Chains A and B, each alone.
Chain A
Amino acid sequence: MNDLPHARSPESGDLDRRSFLKTGMGGALFLGAVSVTAGLSGCATTPAGPREAVDLGPSDGYQFRFLTRDDVQLFHALLPAIIGPALTEQPEDRRQVIGSTIERIDAGISQFGPANQRELRRLFDLLNFGFTRVTIARVWSSWPNVTSAEADAFLERWRTSGIGLFNNGYIALTKISNVAFYGYRDHWHLSGYPGPPQWAIEALPHIKNA
């Protein structure tokens, strides 16, 4: 996934944020550069494997198909800020909800197809790689040590930034998380959505008997 031709361009090591911001170049080229740097510096880029392996609470045997161990940690740090007070405080349940939301994020991304997966890989690598995490996201600690308040401040910076690339990153992170969270039947009640009408379910054998 890191073998795009432009990712090997000579500018790969040049992470000068100012010149990048001034030229206003598309995100792809820049993030491509980060991606190769991250790859070289040894960030894991293989899917995290079975859910047991990433400490997300009780497992149903789910196998991660896209998210790496680093990505899982990233979402572990971000979800408390993205989902915010909708996340239960009860530690066991909280762990379970975060874990299953990350699982659904992974399942969703695995249907995105190669092109958008590459874009996301670049974004995640940028956030996981220490140097760019600090320079671009201005997050000082590694993700497992980031507090909800710090995660929220990061999201807020990217949301309100005047730079389209950061707004786009904000949207990508919050959109996949919000969809995976609020779209799941266990969380429908949070949006007052009662689910499909019961009378229709009763009348439709292919749903009722599912």
Chain B
Amino acid sequence: MSLTDRIAQGLEAGWDVTDGATLAEDQTHEADVVVIGTGAGGGTTAEILAKSGLSVILVEEGRLYYQKDFKMDELTAYANLYQEGMSRVTRDGAIAILQGRCVGGSTTVNWTSSFRTPDETLTYWSERFGLDNLTPDAMAPWFEGREQRHSMAPWHMDPNVNNDILRQGCEKLGYRWQIIPRNVKGCWNLGYCGVGCPTNAKQGALMTTVPGALDHQARLFHGLRADRLVMNQDRIDHLQAMAMNADGVTPSGVTVTLKARHFVVAASAIGSPGLLLRSDVPDPHGRVGKRSFLHPVNATVAQMPEKVDPYYGAPQSVYSDEFNFKQGVDGPAGFKLEVPPLHPAVSAGVIPGHGQTQVDAMAGLPWTQSVIALLRDGFHPDSPGGTVSLRDDGSPVLDYPISDYLWDGLRQAYLTMAEIQFAAGARKVRLVHLDSEWYRSWAEARVAIETIAMEPHRVRLFTAHQMGGCGMGTDPKGSVVNGFGEHHHVSNLSVHDASIFPTSIGANPQLSVYALAARNSTRLAGKLAG
């Protein structure tokens, strides 16, 4: 395999890339289309539009990090590559939010699991939100196209022990499990996806669509934060953006004005509703920022008799959908079961504790296995999601109250995960919960889980899947964009990212974002060319 870096090469060859931190004076630029955000949605959009001959400017608030920066070190990666230096949380602090802030967005740090949008979800959308042309059949070619573009295929190597324990537990209990498709090419099976792929194997936006767009004369401004879309009558006239200092967090004071015929917002859930709210874009029914979803995640950890080394090997390769849609799409909260990679910093941050307890928990890391449950939110009236609003300083924040409906699902997930770990031979199992002890048997765990407090802050929750907030639908009273990501009220504005999902996906979302962005950009390219 070649170690030649696609980004280094492109920069050498003269890509039009500007680091906002180097700008000394205010300036204005113009293109056919301005795309805000360079992640799953933005990258796809920029490549398709640029290839169709349109001039494109890409705006990214994070910085351009690539192979030379990816050194398998957690502390530097979390500080630089993640939103709010990995400290993003919901408004009350009860749910930790992992999200990318760098060129390639979350796809630069994601764990490469690649699922199509489940049929159940697409069908629900068509019935509930009038999205008739997003049926599984209609979407199939778009999924297929993106699977090829991002080299997605079921993982062909043996799962690492961490994943294999999920498989073993499911097998013993008669639960379904499957191998996860991943978007990698020549993967070394190292296990460092979450801190930026050091071998360029990960086929996220950074290695595929962003270079593809730049090869076709797209211009990239990184370290540039989209601040406001400015309207002139009923169209967006320009984007006002703020250059960031090299620290990536403070604006330098230099502003950049970007004019275009069309604007595509792809700053993701939280970022996109935030931008629309700041811009005061028409929103007659108050829909912007509503119905934000997270796949709230809870976790259990197990001590296994054998070494797990949960920091090595493809982070996710086995999953179970046994409980995802089992009780109907809008029955009790369903969940997808997966495992997380466990490196020391993230483990020390997620597993709550201090002093001797923490010393012991950390000393056991090589034997530690963890299962996570991703709850499907948004499909039931008692799961209305959260709300993005603006803080005093204009930054977006997500308020996400956890309903009893979700607490029930989370308790059920704790039970299932502990059962699976014991079935796979765990010596002891503990919930990632402030009150949890180590449980020595499934019987003991079950009793404890049935009565443990299900409360914010005590249950440690997190998410790497933010969705919604600019939901799509046919009825403008209940949605922000139509089924093509086109804004209901502003004709030269589209949204192409995870914020347009009207519910959560019920599977890791990247392929859903890629496919919808590809479909909607192809249509947009046709319109703008015409």
Contact = CB atoms under 8 A, between A and B. Distances in A.
Interface in B449-470: 455-458, 460
A152 B67 CA distance: 42
A146 B3 CA distance: 54
Interface in A19-37: 26-27
Interface in A170-210: 170-172, 174-175, 177-185, 187-188, 190-193, 196-197, 200-201, 204-207, 210
Interface in B317-359: 343-349, 352-356, 358-359
A191 B457 contact: no
A159 B460 CA distance: 12
Nearest to B396: A115
A104 interface: yes
14 contacts: A82-B358, A84-B359, A86-B358, A115-B393, A115-B395, A160-B434, A164-B455, A171-B460, A179-B345, A179-B346, A181-B348, A183-B348, A188-B344, A206-B71
Given A178-B349, A204-B198, A206-B67, 17 more contacts: A85-B355, A108-B78, A109-B85, A111-B80, A114-B393, A116-B84, A167-B457, A168-B94, A171-B93, A182-B344, A183-B75, A190-B362, A192-B364, A192-B365, A192-B366, A193-B311, A204-B199
A86 B346 CA distance: 18
B344 A193 contact: yes
Contacts of A91: none
A184 B198 CA distance: 19
A152 B366 CA distance: 27
Given A82-B355, A84-B355, A205-B3, A183 B198 contact: no
Please name the 5 residue pairs, one residue from A and one from B, whose CB atoms are nearest each other, closest first.
A183-B345, A111-B85, A84-B355, A182-B348, A167-B457
B276 to A, nearest CB: 19
Contacts of A191: 344, 347-348, 362-363, 365-366
B347 A112 contact: no
B40 interface: no
B407 to A, nearest CB: 14
Nearest to A172: B93
A193 B352 contact: no
A136 interface: no
Q: Which DSSP category, helix, strand, loop or mixed, fits chain B's interface?
A: loop
A190 to B, nearest CB: 6
Given A192-B363, A206-B71, A174 B352 contact: yes
Interface residues of B, number: 62
A155 B249 contact: no
Contacts of A104: 75
Interface string A88-124: 0000000000000000100111111111100100000
A111 B72 CA distance: 19
A61 interface: no
B68 interface: yes
Interface string B412-448: 0000000000000000000000110000000000000
Q: Which DSSP category, helix, strand, loop or mixed, fits chain A's interface?
A: helix
B354 A168 contact: no
B249 A113 contact: yes
Given A111-B85, A115-B395, A116-B87, A167 B458 contact: yes
Nearest to B195: A196
Contacts of A159: 352, 354, 434
A179 B393 contact: no
A179 B3 contact: no
B362 A182 contact: yes
A197 B312 contact: yes
Contacts of B344: 182-183, 187-188, 191, 193
Nearest to B75: A183
A113 B395 contact: yes
B92 to A, nearest CB: 6
B392 interface: yes
A163 to B, nearest CB: 9
A206 B198 contact: yes
A201 B70 CA distance: 11
B176 interface: no
Nearest to B362: A191
B495 to A, nearest CB: 23
A103 B477 CA distance: 51
Contacts of A178: 348-349, 354, 358
A5 interface: yes
B192 interface: yes
A196 B348 CA distance: 17
Contacts of A196: 72, 190, 192
A108 B363 contact: no
A115 B84 contact: yes
A175 B78 CA distance: 14
A28 to B, nearest CB: 8
A141 B344 CA distance: 34
B79 interface: yes
Contact of A5 (B364, B392, B456): B392
B391 interface: yes
Contacts of B354: 81-84, 152, 155, 159, 174, 177-178
B362 A112 contact: no
